[in-house]
Structures are given as structure tokens and as C-alpha cells.
Structure 1
Amino acid sequence: MDTGSYYEPVGENRYVPTSHAGGAWDPDEQHFSPLGGLIAHAIDRYLAGRPDDGRMLSRISYDILGRPTLAECEIRVATIRPGRTIELVEAVVLIAERPVVRARAWLLGPFDTTAVAGGAPEALTPPDELAPVALTPVWPGGYIASLDIRPVSAPRPGRATAWLSSRVGLVAGEDAGPLASFIALVDTANGVAARQPPTAWMFPNVDLTIHLHRRPEGRWVGLDTSVTFGPTGQGITSTVLHDVAGAVGHAQQILTVRPLPAAE
């Protein structure tokens, strides 16, 4: 399928990825970025089935348990810690009945803290003032090809600041909320600030954790990203997340770093 969306719904809580979801490490896999957004969308749909109490998703953590192939997936969502002001929700993605992703989201109740708000980094140069570049010479896959990428400054190995947006919708025929659409771009951070060429080294992430201090708005995601490689095969991608109004939170990814066989 190639419909101008990352996913096609094919049943209750079941989706098929399109070619736009193709991965950067393997085009026969889903890139985790749109899959992370799809999970957030499934959580939104789960929460929409009850009265809105104002609680907001303030942290979501993903553990990638297996290879997310370009195949039909099912997402099961449940509350595992209910509460009036704090709630923990879990979502599990299954492909061929096998769990491939487990996500947990904390929902926190709203309070007026305008009088004490502060501490966020400065806002980035707006994307409308920047020129687009292509990542396709560095990374293959339908997902990377779907992006509008605008660097704030020239990237260096392990360091980049850039804006991202997508010309592709998240789910065909379904209105994805601004949070799910925002989250659908965050996992790209590990690719915009690569420390080494992906033709010589592998450094995929096995998790993604996003913390938010306010709800992001708009179609642009700002990534202020640093990547660290350790000496024993581990790495960390750390990102300050922005929308056009300023910083909204942070993302962390743990990496497994290893040379490709041809580079050994």
C-alpha cells in the first residue's frame, strides 16, 4: 500500500504499514519513529472512549522487544495503574501474535503552575527561516524520504539541531492528534546526529523515552541532539525537544553500537 499515510487501518486496533514507514537500517522493517507515533495514537483512541478529565501524557517509554517487520500489527492498550490525578497506561504491539514493542505512558492531572513555570532552554531559530536538506544520501527507507528536514546549524558527528516535519499522515482516514503526530518524528533524533557513517557502523536504539513539561503544538518538531558512544558497545542519544514556541521536553535513546561486518 502507498496511500500518503504511514499506516492503513484494517480492523479494530489493527494496522498495516505502508512503504512510507520503511526503516533506515532495513527497508523491510518499520522505522520506529512512525510506529512510536502510532502507539501514541492508539493510546489517544483508548482515552477518547471515556470522559476527558484533563490528564495529559507526560512521559512515554518504549522498549523495542523484536524486529518490527513491515507487516500487519495489533496494538492492545490497558490501564495498569488507575488514579484520579495520576494514571499509568500500557500499550503492547504484536506482529504475528508476538510482542515487538511495549510502551508505558504516565498521565498527570492538570494544575495551574503558570506563576512558577520556567527553566526551559531558549527557543530555536524558526523553521520558516531555514533551508531544507535531504537525509536520503545518508539513510535509505521510505520514512526518511517522507521528511522535510531543516538544520538550524551545520551538523557535526554526534551533534545536530534540526527541525522536522512530514508530508505524510499518520493513519489513513483517522485524525491523529498533535501529540501523536509530534511523537511520530522524535525517534529520528538518532539519525540526524550520527557519530559514524551507517555504512560502516550500526547504532540502532533499543528504547525511546520521552518526557514532556508541556503539550507540543504545531507540525514542526525541533531536535537539539547529542550522541555519545562509550568504549564497550553502548551509546546514548539525548535530545531537547522543541516546538515553534520553545522547548517542550526531552528524549533519550540507548544504542547498541557495533561495526558492520565489512568494517571489522
Structure 2
Amino acid sequence: MSSTTAFFTQKQGELVPSPHARGPWSPDMLHGRLLGGLAARALEQRHAEPGLHFARLTVDLFRNSPMLPVTVETALVRDGRRIRVADATLSTEQGVIGRASAVLLRQSEPPDGPQTLVTPAWDEPAPDGPPAEGPGWKPPFDLWRLTEWGAPGPGRAWMRERHPLVDEEAVTPFVRAALAADFASPLSNAGTDGLRFINADYTLTLARLPESDVLGIEATGHLNAAGVATGHVTLHDAAGPIGFCVVTAVANPAGLGGR
């Protein structure tokens, strides 16, 4: 990861966005992936504990947000012997823009015996060179597209964070996975003529945290009916599959407003 300008600077309890925190849809709109990253960061800083693993993160994206300072508040919902649940709320001066819920599970020895189904590693090696830049919006992260946008079949990509999320803090494996998970929507919901669905949420599930700074995302399912879609992807690191992400989305014809 580069030591260049972070997406946010922390000032008096607020997270002030940098110019490259904007998304591809409007020059005055925060990129939705960053909200999941900020929620994961706050939940990890305030509720992590050795031996407890972040197994699930659900991020609800209530509304598109202008480039305004963000605050993140968290609350411990349940703290049991093997399960901890914590929530996060993300707000700007205009109100609540999103929320998140995390489930942490106590790690232990795995049960004996083979599983009836195990997700295989995909056949895409981790990238060993710089990504190629295409036309249009330039993402503020490294992106290796393994399939062309709009091509029939499962979408595939590798990605890597280029900037810190907040100040000069290192991006942790959990935050890295939360940032990457938002890419599940364009990969699983893309049509041959572009992205015609806008995601309302995403749920990331992790068997383990990523061990490499590059993360692979492979679309593994999509369904839609009456303007409502659901899609899912498998997430990989350089060593193999690590988890899944499911998104729900609503039809968003060209020219229609946001969430």
C-alpha cells in the first residue's frame, strides 16, 4: 500500500474525506465502499478481542452521501461466550447515511472429518505487474480486470488498496476485505449494457481473514425479478478462497436517482 494521501483525515471526532474519496457516479458523492471500510475500522478498533474472529459484516447503504465529514458510532449488542455482536452507525450533518452489524465468533479446533462441499481455489494467479488503466473513471485502488465489463459469464477481478483509509493507519486485513466486498455489486449485477442495479447493502462472510494485500473477487451468482436483484461472489486471497459476499440491489435505469 502506498503512503499517499488517505481517503479520510480524522479531525475532532469526524472523518473528513479527501478528494479521491469520491465515487464514479458524481464528483460530489462519497464512494459507498468507503462506508463499509469505516464501519469495519470502528468495529475492529472498539470490539475486537484475541480469539474472536470477524465472521460476518453486513453494511446497509441508506443513501448517497455528499463529500461531507463522517462520524461513526458503535454499540455492543451481545457479548456471549462464543458470539459477540456489535453495530455501527455512520452519519453526516445531513443525518444517518448507513449502518453496519458485525458478528464475531470464538475460534477453536475444527471438527474432525471431511466436508461434503468445499469451495475450490480459482484458477487465476495473483497479479505480478501493474494494472492496466482503461478509459473512464480511474479507481483510487489497483484493479486488475480479468473479464471485460458486460462480457457474458462470471465477472472476475483482483484488487489492491493504494491509499490508507484514515490518516497514515495501515489498512488491516478485516478492513481490506470490507472495502473489497462492495465490488460484489458491479461484478454480480452487471448487464451486457452496463450496471442497471444499485446495491442497497452487502453482507460479507469470512472463514478467515485475507493473508495478502491483493484480493480476488469472482461473481458466482445473480438473480433478478420485478426490478429487485440479488448477487453473490466468492472472495480469494493469494492462498485461496476466504469467504463470500451477498448483495441486494434495486433496478436503476439510466437517469434515475440514487438510493
Shared fold (TM-score, shorter chain, > 0.5): yes
Give the CA deviation at 1:11. 2.4
Partner of residue 125, structure 1 = 124
Output one character per residue of 1:37-74: Cα deviation in whole Å (capped at 9) or x when no partner: 111011111125xxx34101100101112222211010
Q: What percent identity do the matched residue pairs reach?
A: 26
Distance 2:112 2:20 in 1: 43
Q: Which moved more, 1:168-177 or 1:104-113?
A: 168-177
CA contact (8 A) 1:227 1:238 kept: yes
Q: Is the 8 A contact 2:83 2:105 kept in 1?
A: yes
Structure 1 counterpart of 2:42, one-letter code: A
Taking the aligned partners of 1:95 and 1:117, their CA distance within structure 2 comes to 48
Gaps of 5+ in 1: none
Any conservation in 2 of the 1:158–1:227 contact (CA below 8 Å)? no
Partner of 1:22: 22
State whether structure 2 residue 172 is matched by structure 1 residue 177.
yes
Q: Match of 1:250? A: 244
Q: Is the 8 A contact 2:35 2:90 kept in 1?
A: no
Q: How many Å apart are 1:192 and its aligned residue? A: 4.1
2:55 matched residue in structure 1 = 58
1:219 is aligned to: 213
1:235 aligns with 2:214: no
SS in 2 for 1:260: coil
1:127 deviates by 2.1
Shift of 1:121: 2.0
CA distance in 1, matches of 2:112, 2:135: 45
Equivalenced residues, count: 249
Q: Structure 1 227/21 Cα, relative in aligned 2: closer, same or farther at 3 Å? A: farther
TM-score (norm 2): 0.86
Change in Cα spacing, 1:217 to 1:114, as seen in structure 2 (3 Å) is farther
Q: Which residue of 2 aligns with 1:36?
A: 36
How far residue 115 of structure 1 moved from its aligned partner, in angstroms, is: 4.9
Alignment of 1:1-264 (within 5 A): 4-12=5-13, 14-47=14-47, 52-96=49-93, 98-113=95-110, 115-116=112-113, 119-129=118-128, 132-134=131-133, 136-137=135-136, 140=137, 144-154=138-148, 156-157=151-152, 159-192=154-187, 194-198=190-194, 202-226=196-220, 228=222, 230-261=224-255
Assess, with a 3 A threshold, how the Cα gap between structure 1 residues 168 and 79 changes in structure 2: closer, same or farther. same
CA separation of 1:77 and 1:170: change in aligned 2, threshold 3 A = same
d(CA) in 1 for partners of 2:184, 2:27: 18
CA RMSD of aligned residues (A): 2.4
Q: Distance in 2 between matches of 1:127 and 1:69?
A: 35
**Unpaired runs of at least 5, structure 2:** none
3-state DSSP class of the match of 2:160? strand
Shift in Å, 1:24: 2.0
Q: TM-score, normalised by structure 1?
A: 0.84
